[in-house]
A = this chain, B = another copy of it.
Amino acid sequence: MTQQRKVILRVLAGADDHPDANELYHRAYALDGSVSLSTVYRTLRLLADRGAIQRHAFEEGRARFENADREHHDHLIDIETGQVIEFHSEEIEELQARIAAERGYEIVRHKLELYVKKRGS
- Cα distance A85–B103 in the bound complex, in angstroms: 9
With A and B bound together, what is the CA distance between A111 and B116 in angstroms? 11
B-contact bits for A45-83, CB 8 A (1 contact / 0 none): 000000000000101000000000000000010110000
Main secondary structure of the interface of A (DSSP, over half): strand
A95 to B93, CA, bound (A): 11
Cβ of A58 to closest chain B Cβ, rounded Å: 9
Tell me if A15 counts as interface (CB < 8 A to partner B). no
Query: A79 to chain B: which residues have CB within 8 Å?
Result: 108
Chain B neighbourhood of A2, CB < 8 A: none
Contacting residues of chain A (80-114) with chain B, CB-CB under 8 angstroms? 85, 87, 89, 91-92, 95-96, 99-101, 103-114
